[in-house]
Structure 1
Amino acid sequence: MPCHPTPLRFSRLLLTGAAGGLGAELRTRLKAYCDVLRLSDIADLGAPRAGEELRPARLEDAAAVHALLDGVEAVVHLGGVSTEQPWEPILQANIIGVYHLYEAARKQAVRRVVFASSNHVTGFYRQDEVVSPRDPARPDGLYGVSKAFGEDLSRFYFDRYGIETVCLRIGSSFPAPRNRRMLATWMSYDDLERLVVASLTAPVVGHSILYGMGDNTTTWWDNTPARHIGYRPQDSSEPFRAQVEAADPHPDLTDPATLYQGGPFVRTGPFE
């Protein structure tokens, strides 16, 4: 059963990055909100299921992305590089690729995009700070820089062309938090579904940014500026706290990954 019942149903919804960890999870969930779910990735998507269309496409291929958005009402864009990498793959998928996506949306008259940004847009804020979407970006690597670019590009396409976007600065979405950092950043798969569906179905979103997190006791992010989206997390990392803290009873306070919100991303690279 969908965890976010809604009367709004799309005729055709596009999910990019559908073979990734979160994409595979949303593949099983978003079909409840559309007649046809179009799926895209460069990795193997397997066989199509009922109500699915498989359309592999490379984001750096402008013509392929243009065709990918044909007949689509809305896009959930998870495609691209999702970890810190050398510059060239990030440039191709996350910079050039997201430009192709928004150009295709403009030409195909797609009116709403849910853009998977990242908490790493603000990863160089400290863990003793609380950050709002209105605070300046402080990316913790080239990946974070690319997601900040995507947020700015999507704002431009809203201001000039009226394409609405909800940028989701996703924290850590797994079955359970894996470490102390995730006590603040964790989001269940059910809350991930609530987040994406709220972003798709809120009547007016303009250009909005919100953090993808659960109803956690510890938090570094203030979503107050995005309350109009209607996302209300229901799952908390708190039941996992004792086990997580027991596994790491004495965190190293000299380690930048302990001090900064981006965790290990703040000390990844350079790639040579």
Structure 2
Amino acid sequence: MDVKLGRVVITGAAGNIGPTVRSGLREDADHIVLVDTADVEAEGEQESAVKAAVGDRGALVEAFSGADSVVHLAGVADEAPFDDLLDANVRGTLNVLEAARRAEVPRVVLFSSNRVTGNYPIHHHVFPDEPPRPDGLYGVTKVAAEALGQMYADTFGLQVVALRVGSFEERPTETRHLATWLSPRDCVGFVRAALTAPNVNFTAAYAVSGNARRFWDLSAGENELGYRPVDDAARYAADFPDDDPFWHGGPQGGDFAGPDAVLPHLRE
């Protein structure tokens, strides 16, 4: 793909998805800025590392200076006490968007989550423009993060893509992943498309591999971003029982949904 990405900033570069995105963008980026609270080692002159938290808006403005885009991965990625989620996923996203505005970065790719709609039943095919039905406090904060992205697009003209990421794994490790798996290859494909798609205002798209059993619609990714996923968890179906209780009905979030998943964090 002969597309130059310019200068790209990755927040949360040391996290679970960061190394995959970093390596996948390296070939076509002029420079990659790696932002994390953990130590990250830059490789060669094409990369630089900045130790900063998403709570430090001033440090973000400085790190974003001269960037063409920001890929925002940093945050708390599962159920947690609400104050922690609020600080990392809502205030952190606000700081990233505001720093991008101040640094005049034209595009931000937000890593949202499929769990903004995790309380839809598994038999329902969900389109990105349907009302959110978060499966827990984590999902609620991702709904808020998407709303911030929409506001910054509408109010300030920032180009924002919210990728509702599926279950990012090298290969499926549980039955639910036959529907929700996002392969590393498709993850990079969605990010590259989100960075290069023309005519973006605000787009929310499910970032999930082309799994035969998926319950999320892929048309936004294909039509608005120009990416069609290439992997399918069906090739791993023999690893899991066909009669798994997950397929009998219930929320798409599976074990992430329901009182047992949420109540422990309401008691903090």
Please classify the TM superposition score into its range, dividing by the shorter chain length: over 0.9
What's the counterpart of residue 263 of structure 1? 254
Q: Does 1:232 align with 2:228?
A: yes
Distance in 2 (alpha carbons) for counterparts of 1:252 and 1:153: 33
Whether 1:22 aligns to 2:17 is yes
Point out the more displaced range, 233-242 or 56-65: 56-65
2-side partners of 1:252 and 1:11: how far apart? Answer: 43
d(CA) in 2 for partners of 1:188, 1:102: 27
Please name the residue that 1:222 is paired with.
Answer: 217
| 2:204 aligned to which of 203, 209, 213 | 209
TM-score by length of 2: 0.93
Aligned ranges for residues 47-86 of structure 1 at < 5 Å? 47-50=41-44, 51-86=46-81
Q: Which TM-score applies when normalising by structure 1? A: 0.92
For structure 2, the residue ranges without an aligned partner over 5 or more in a row are none
The 5 Å alignment of 1:1-272 reads 5=1, 7-45=2-40, 47-50=41-44, 51-226=46-221, 227-245=223-241, 249-251=243-245, 259-267=250-258, 268-270=261-263, 271=265, 272=268
Q: 1:67 to 1:173 in 2, by over 3 A?
A: same
**Letter of the aligned partner of 1:196 in structure 2?**
V
| Distance (Å, rounded) in 1 between the aligned partners of 2:244 and 2:61 | 51
Alignment identity in percent? 38
| Aligned-residue offset at 1:253 | 7.2
Q: Within 1, Cα distance between the matches of 2:206 and 2:6?
A: 28
Shift of 1:100: 0.9
Query: Are the structure 2 counterparts of residues 43 and 264 from structure 1 closer, same or farther at C-alpha, using a change threshold of 3 Å?
Result: farther
- 1:30 deviation in Å? 1.2
Alpha-carbon shift at residue 202 of structure 1 (Å): 0.9
Q: Which letter maps to 1:193? A: V
2:5–2:195 Cα contact (<8 Å) kept? no
1:63 Cα deviation from its structure 2 partner: 1.3
How has the CA–CA distance of structure 1 residues 16 and 128 changed in structure 2, closer, same or farther, with 3 Å as cutoff?
same
In 1, Cα distance between equivalents of 2:76 and 2:189: 24
Q: Which amino acid in 2 is paired with 1:83?
A: D
CA distance in 1, matches of 2:154, 2:228: 27
Deviations 1:21-66 (A, max 9, x none): 1112112121112111000111232x21021110111111121222
Letter in 2 for 1:213: V
Q: Relative to structure 1, is the Cα distance of residues 204 and 179 closer, same or farther in structure 2, using a 3 angstrom cutoff?
A: same
Aligned pairs, how many?
Answer: 261
In 1, the alpha carbon distance for the partners of 2:236 and 2:200 equals 33
In structure 2, how many angstroms separate the alpha carbons of the residues matched to 1:188 and 1:243? 17
- Residue type of the partner of 2:131? P
Quick one: structure 1 residues 252 and 193, their matched pair in 2 at CA, closer, same or farther if it must change by over 3 Å?
Answer: closer
SS in 2 for 1:167: strand
| 8 Å Cα contact 1:59/1:92 also seen in 2 | no
Q: Give the secondary structure class of the aligned counterpart of 2:26.
A: helix
In the alignment, structure 1 segments of 5+ residues that lack a partner are none
* CA RMSD of superposed structures (Å): 1.5
Partner SS for 2:116: helix
Cα distance in 2, alignment partners of residues 12 and 203 from structure 1: 17
Aligned CA distance change for structure 1 residues 184 and 38 (closer, same or farther; 3 Å): same
What SS does the aligned partner of 1:184 have?
A: helix
CA offset at residue 225 of structure 1? 3.7
The 2-side partners of 1:203 and 1:252 are apart by 39
SS of the residue corresponding to residue 109 of structure 2 reads strand
